[in-house]
C-alpha cells in the first residue's frame, strides 16, 4: 500500500485511508536460498583476496618498493591516519610492590589527553645497566571484584614477573575494554554501533596507539635499552602484538601468541563470531592477514599457537606462516621466522611461554640458556591496582566517538557543483568507501538482465520477472509491471522501487491478488485487493512502468534472520573490505542498468524511490548512475551516516547532506521530511547554482 501512496505522491496526488492486511499465523520463513547464496559469496570473495595476498612479490626489491605504502595503509585501516599528535605522556608512578628479586611499579600515562593507559612496570631489584624491554599486551582476561576492575594486566602478571626475574624489564598494559577504566571493544559485535565502520573506527586502533605510546614511555626509562624492545601477548594481546610489530620498527623481536589466522578461518569457517572488534582492522584495502605479518619482516618473528585452538585454527595459522616465510626468504632471513605449535586449546599454557622466552633470549640478549624458572603469579590484584579513584577527565569510555575525526562539511558558498567535481566526489568515495565493488572486468560479465523468466497478465497489468546477477554468486530478481495493452516502447516512465523487508511484504500483498502462483514460495501479507486496484489504475492512466528490486539479503534472498547471524554477516562484509550497505548500493546500480537493458526501455526515463533503510542506498546508487536516473524520491532519509547507511570510512570524507547536493547535479532529488531545516546545506548549495534550480525539493511527508 505504501508503494501506491509513493507513486501517487510522484504525480502530486495524496491519498489516505488504506490499511495493509497482515496474514495471521504466517508459516516460518524459508531462508535456505539466501543462506546458500551468501555462503557461496563469502567463500568466493575470501578466496579472491587470499589468492592475491602477497602473490606478486618475487624479490626483496619488489617488496621493499611497496612496503612503506602498505604500512601507510595499515595505519589508515587502524584508525591512525592522520596519526594522533604525540602529546606529553604525563606519566606517573603511584606506588611499588616487591617480591624476592623483583620490583613492580604501578604506573599510568596518557597516550593522548584523557586516554589513560594503566600498567605495571616489572624490573629486577638489582640492575647494573639498561636491559632489553618487553611490552606485554594482554588478552581478554577480566579481573573484577564487585564494581572494581583491576585490569587484565593482573591476570597476565606472571609473564611480567618471569621477564623481570630473567634479566629484562617488562611493561604490562591494560587494554581498553578490560582495563581499570572499562572502555568498549564490542561496538558492532554486541551493541549495534555500525557507525564505527562508517567512521573508520576500530578499537584495534586505540590498542595500537597505546602500544606506540608505551614504546615512547619505555624509551624514557633509564632502566631500558631503547634499542632492544620486544613485544608479546596472547589472544587479543597476540593481535595487538601484530599491530605494533607491523607499524613500529622499534620492535626488534616479536612473539604474537594465538593472535592471528587467515581470512578463510574468520569469514568462511566462522571464527569472526568468536572475536570482538579489537581483533580487526577496518579492511579498506582488502588484505588477508599474512600481509599484516609480512610487515614485520625481516625482524625476528615467532608465530605461536596451540593445535586445538577453535578461534585461531591450526590450518589458518600455518597458512599465514607459510606465506610470510616466503617474504623472509626474499631477505634470506629464514632463521628470523619461526612457527611454534604446542598441544592444547585456546589457553595460556606453560609450553607456549617457554618458546617465547627462548626466542627473546636468542634475539634480544644473544643467549640460549636453559629455561629453568616457571612463570607464576606472586601478587593479589589489589597490589597491582593503579587508580584508587578513576580520573574524572578520562576519555577511555567515550573514545570511540572522538578517536577518528569526522569530515567537516563545507559552507554552501564554498561548494562548486558541476560535472567534474561530482565525478571527483564519486572517485573519492570509490577509493575510500567502495573498494569492495567489482572491477571493470568483472562488471562486463554482468551487463544485462537477459530474458524474463516469468511473463503473466492479470487485470490489465503485465508482469515480467528478470533474474540478474550484479556480481558473481549473487542472484537477484527485477520485477517489472506495465499496462497489459502497452508495449515496452509505449511506457513513458519507469519507476524503480528499492525495497526493504517492509516494502517487500507490501509488494507481495499486491502481487498475491493476481500473480500468487509466481510468489508461492514467499511468506507474505494476505492479498490486498484495494492496493492492487489502485496500482493497476495508476499504471493504466499514466502509461507508467513500475519496477521493484530487493537488494541482497532482502525478500527472496533473505538469509538467517536471527540477530546473531545478521550481526556477524555484517561483520563478515567488513572483513572483506565491504559493508552490506555498500554492496546493496552496487545491487541497485546494476538493477538500474539492467532495467535500461530491457528491450524497449533503452531510452525510457527512469525515476527511483525508496524509504527507510533503503533511502540512503538508493541515493548513492543514483549518484553513481546520475546519467540515467532523472528523479529520485526519498522517504525517511537519515541526515547523517551515523544513522545509516553504513559505508567504510564515509564519515571521514563526507556525509549525507553533501551527497544530496552532488546527486542533485543531474537528478531531481525530492526528500520527504517534515523538518526542512535538516537539509539547509544541500538546499543552500542548490540555490547558489542556477543550473541546479529545482534540482532539490523538500516536501512534507505524505
Please state whether beta strands 474-483 and 544-549 pair in parallel, antiparallel, or not at all (unpaired): antiparallel
pLDDT at 514: 87
Residue 536 Cα distances to 337, 458, 549, angstroms = 70, 9, 19
**Among 262-266, 677-681, 692-696, where is mean pLDDT lowest?**
692-696
Q: What angle do CA 260, 265, 269 make, to 5 degrees?
A: 150
pLDDT classification of 4: cutoffs 50, 70, 90 = very low
pLDDT at 666: 87
Alpha carbons 609 and 3: distance in angstroms, whole number: 9
Task: Give SS3 for 305.
Answer: strand
* pLDDT of residue 510 exceeding 90: yes
> CA-based Rg of the chain, rounded to a whole angstrom?
29
Higher-scoring residue by pLDDT: 582, 375: 582
Q: For 695-701, what is the mean pLDDT?
A: 93
pLDDT classification of 22: cutoffs 50, 70, 90 = very low
**What is the per-residue pLDDT across 58-72, written as a single tens digit (0 to 9) for each?**
999 999 999 999 999
**What is the per-residue pLDDT across 575-632, written as a single tens digit (0 to 9) for each?**
999 999 999 999 999 999 999 999 999 999 999 999 999 999 999 999 999 999 999 9
* pLDDT of residue 692 exceeding 60: yes
Higher-scoring residue by pLDDT: 566, 688: 566
* pLDDT of residue 532 exceeding 50: yes
* pLDDT of residue 371 exceeding 90: no
Of all residues in the chain, the percent with pLDDT exceeding 70 is 94
* pLDDT of residue 14 exceeding 50: no
* pLDDT of residue 1 exceeding 70: no
* pLDDT of residue 446 exceeding 70: no
Q: For 326-347, what is the mean pLDDT?
A: 97
DSSP annotation string for 125-175: SS-SS-EEEEEEE--S---EETTEE--HHHHTHHHHHHHHHTT-EEEEE--
Of all residues in the chain, the percent with pLDDT exceeding 90 is 86
Exposure string for 172-205, b = 16+ CB within 10 A, e = fewer? bbbbbbbbbbbbbbebbbeeebbbbbbbbbbbbb
Q: Is-contact 605 490, C-beta < 8 A?
A: no
CA atoms within 13 A on the CB side of 503: 23
Residue 530 Cα distances to 333, 498, 513, 624, angstroms = 76, 22, 10, 36
Exposed (0-12), middle (13-18) or buried (19+): which is 40, by Cβ within 10 Å? middle
Alpha carbons 89 and 114: distance in angstroms, whole number: 10
**What is the per-residue pLDDT across 199-217, written as a single tens digit (0 to 9) for each?**
999 999 999 999 999 999 9
Cell of 43: 567463500
Alpha carbons 239 and 302: distance in angstroms, whole number: 13
pLDDT at 327: 98
Exposure string for 376-392, b = 16+ CB within 10 A, e = fewer? eebbebebbbbbeebee
**What is the per-residue pLDDT across 140-149, written as a single tens digit (0 to 9) for each?**
999 999 999 9
pLDDT classification of 522: cutoffs 50, 70, 90 = confident
Alpha carbons 221 and 216: distance in angstroms, whole number: 9
Alpha carbons 664 and 673: distance in angstroms, whole number: 17
Q: Is-contact 122 163, C-beta < 8 A?
A: yes
* pLDDT of residue 268 exceeding 90: yes
pLDDT at 419: 63
Q: Does domain 411-699 have CATH number 3.30.1370.160?
A: no
Chain-centroid distance of CA 386 in Å reads 34
**What is the per-residue pLDDT across 384-402, written as a single tens digit (0 to 9) for each?**
999 999 999 999 999 999 9
- What does pLDDT average to over the chain? 93
Alpha carbons 101 and 84: distance in angstroms, whole number: 38
CATH (residue range 76-401): 3.40.50.1820
Q: Where are the domains of the chain?
A: 76-401, 411-699
Task: Report which secondary-structure segment, H or E, holds 515.
Answer: none
Q: Is-contact 337 295, C-beta < 8 A?
A: no
CB contact set of 609 (below 8 Å; sequence gap of 6+): 6, 7, 10, 495, 496, 497, 498, 618, 632, 633, 634, 635
Residue with cell 619461526: 338
Cell of 302: 615467532
* pLDDT of residue 26 exceeding 90: no
pLDDT at 30: 87
Alpha carbons 491 and 546: distance in angstroms, whole number: 10
Looking at the DSSP bridge assignments, the partners of residue 465 are: 454, 479
DSSP state of 29: P
The reported pTM is: 0.94
pLDDT classification of 664: cutoffs 50, 70, 90 = very high
Q: Is-contact 108 236, C-beta < 8 A?
A: no
Q: For 693-700, what is the mean pLDDT?
A: 85
* pLDDT of residue 21 exceeding 70: no
Cell of 531: 492496493
Phi, psi of 631 (to 5 degrees): -155, 145
* pLDDT of residue 34 exceeding 50: yes
Q: For 278-285, what is the mean pLDDT?
A: 98
**What is the per-residue pLDDT across 74-132, written as a single tens digit (0 to 9) for each?**
999 999 999 999 999 999 999 999 999 999 999 999 999 999 999 999 999 999 999 99
| Cα dihedral 361→364→366→370 (10° resolution) | 0
pLDDT at 17: 29
Please state whether beta strands 301-306 and 169-173 pair in parallel, antiparallel, or not at all (unpaired): unpaired
Alpha carbons 13 and 291: distance in angstroms, whole number: 57
Q: Of 102, 99, 104, which Cα lies nearest the Cα of 127? A: 102
* pLDDT of residue 229 exceeding 70: yes
- Same fold: 76-401 with 411-699: yes
Q: For 645-654, what is the mean pLDDT?
A: 98
Amino acid at each position: 500500500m505504501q508503494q501506491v501512496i509513493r507513486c501517487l505522491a510522484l504525480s502530486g496526488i495524496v491519498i489516505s485511508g488504506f490499511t495493509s492486511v497482515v496474514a495471521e499465523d504466517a508459516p516460518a520463513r524459508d531462508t535456505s536460498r539466501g543462506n546458500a547464496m551468501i555462503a557461496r559469496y563469502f567463500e568466493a570473495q575470501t578466496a579472491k583476496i587470499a589468492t592475491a595476498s602477497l602473490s606478486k612479490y618475487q624479490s626483496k626489491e619488489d617488496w621493499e618498493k611497496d612496503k612503506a605504502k602498505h604500512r601507510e595503509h595499515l595505519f589508515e585501516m587502524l584508525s591512525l591516519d592522520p596519526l594522533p599528535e604525540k602529546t606529553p605522556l604525563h606519566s606517573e608512578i603511584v606506588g611499588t610492590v616487591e617480591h624476592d628479586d623483583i620490583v613492580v611499579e604501578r604506573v599510568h600515562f596518557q597516550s593522548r589527553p584523557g586516554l589513560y593507559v594503566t600498567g605495571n612496570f616489572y624490573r629486577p631489584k638489582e640492575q647494573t645497566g639498561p636491559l632489553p624491554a618487553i611490552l606485554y599486551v594482554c588478552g581478554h582476561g577480566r579481573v573484577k571484584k564487585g564494581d572494581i576492575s583491576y585490569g587484565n594486566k593482573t591476570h597476565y602478571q606472571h609473564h611480567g614477573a618471569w621477564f623481570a626475574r630473567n634479566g629484562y624489564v617488562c611493561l604490562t598494559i591494560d587494554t581498553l575494554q578490560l582495563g581499570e577504566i572499562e572502555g568498549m571493544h564490542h561496538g558492532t559485535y554486541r551493541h549495534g554501533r555500525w557507525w564505527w565502520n562508517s567512521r573508520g573506527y576500530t578499537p584495534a586502533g586505540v590498542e595500537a596507539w597505546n602500544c606506540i605510546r608505551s614504546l615512547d614511555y619505555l624509551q624514557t626509562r633509564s632502566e631500558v635499552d631503547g634499542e632492544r624492545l620486544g613485544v608479546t601477548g596472547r589472544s587479543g594481546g597476540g593481535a595487538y602484538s601484530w599491530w605494533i610489530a607491523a607499524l613500529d620498527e622499534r620492535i626488534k623481536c616479536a612473539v604474537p601468541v594465538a593472535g592471528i589466522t587467515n581470512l578463510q578461518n574468520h569469514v568462511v569457517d566462522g571464527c569472526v563470531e568468536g572475536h570482538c572488534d579489537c581483533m580487526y582492522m577496518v579492511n579498506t584495502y582488502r588484505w588477508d592477514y599474512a600481509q599484516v605479518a609480512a610487515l614485520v619482516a625481516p625482524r625476528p618473528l615467532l608465530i605461536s599457537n596451540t593445535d586445538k585452538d577453535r578461534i585461531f585454527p591450526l590450518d589458518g595459522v600455518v597458512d599465514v606462516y607459510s606465506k610470510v616465510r616466503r617474504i623472509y626468504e626474499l631477505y634470506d632471513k629464514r632463521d628470523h621466522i619461526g612457527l611454534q605449535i604446542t598441544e592444547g586449546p585456546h589457553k595460556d599454557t606453560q609450553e607456549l611461554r617457554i618458546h617465547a622466552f627462548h626466542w627473546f633470549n636468542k634475539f634480544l640478549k644473544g643467549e640460549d640458556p636453559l629455561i629453568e624458572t616457571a612463570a607464576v603469579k606472586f601478587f593479589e590484584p589489589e597490589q597491582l591496582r593503579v587508580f584508587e579513584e578513576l580520573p574524572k577527565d578520562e576519555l577511555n569510555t567515550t573514545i570511540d566517538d572522538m578517536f577518528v575525526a569526522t569530515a567537516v562539511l563545507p559552507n554552501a558558498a564554498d561548494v562548486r557543483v558541476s560535472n567534474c567535481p561530482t565525478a571527483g566526489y564519486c572517485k573519492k568515495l570509490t577509493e575510500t568507501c567502495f573498494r569492495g565493488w567489482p572491477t571493470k572486468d568483472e562488471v562486463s560479465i554482468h551487463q544485462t538482465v537477459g530474458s524474463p523468466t516469468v511473463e503473466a497478465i492479470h487485470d490489465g497489468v503485465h508482469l515480467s520477472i528478470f533474474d540478474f546477477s550484479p556480481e558473481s554468486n549473487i542472484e537477484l530478481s527485477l520485477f517489472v509491471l506495465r499496462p497489459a495493452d502497452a508495449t515496452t516502447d509505449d511506457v513513458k516512465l519507469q519507476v524503480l522501487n528499492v525495497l526493504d523487508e517492509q516494502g517487500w511484504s507490501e509488494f507481495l500483498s499486491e502481487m498475491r491478488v493476481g500473480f500468487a502462483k509466481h510468489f508461492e514460495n514467499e511468506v507474505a501479507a494476505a492479498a490486498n485487493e484495494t492496493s492492487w486496484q489502485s496500482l493497476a489504475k495508476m499504471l493504466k492512466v499514466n502509461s507508467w512502468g513500475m519496477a521493484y528490486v530487493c537488494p541482497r539479503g532482502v525478500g527472496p534472498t533473505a538469509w538467517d534472520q536471527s540477530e546473531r547471524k545478521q550481526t556477524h554477516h555484517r561483520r563478515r562484509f567488513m572483513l572483506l573490505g565491504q559493508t552490506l550497505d555498500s554492496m546493496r548500493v552496487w545491487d541497485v546500480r546494476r538493477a538500474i542498468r539492467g532495467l535500461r537493458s530491457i528491450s524497449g526501455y533503452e531510452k525510457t526515463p527512469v525515476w527511483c524511490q525508496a524509504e527507510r533503510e533503503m533511502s540512503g542506498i538508493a541515493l548513492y546508487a543514483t549518484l553513481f548512475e546520475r546519467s540515467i536516473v532523472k528523479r529520485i524520491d526519498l522517504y525517511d532519509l537519515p541526515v547523517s551516516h551515523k544513522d545509516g547507511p553504513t559505508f567504510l570510512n564515509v564519515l571521514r570524507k563526507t556525509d549525507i547532506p553533501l551527497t544530496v547536493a552532488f546527486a542533485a547535479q543531474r537528478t531531481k532529488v525530492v526528500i520527504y521530511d517534515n523538518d526542512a531545516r535538516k537539509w539547509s546545506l544541500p538546499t543552500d548549495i542548490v540555490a547558489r547554482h542556477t543550473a541546479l534550480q529545482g534540482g532539490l525539493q523538500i516536501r512534507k511527508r505524505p
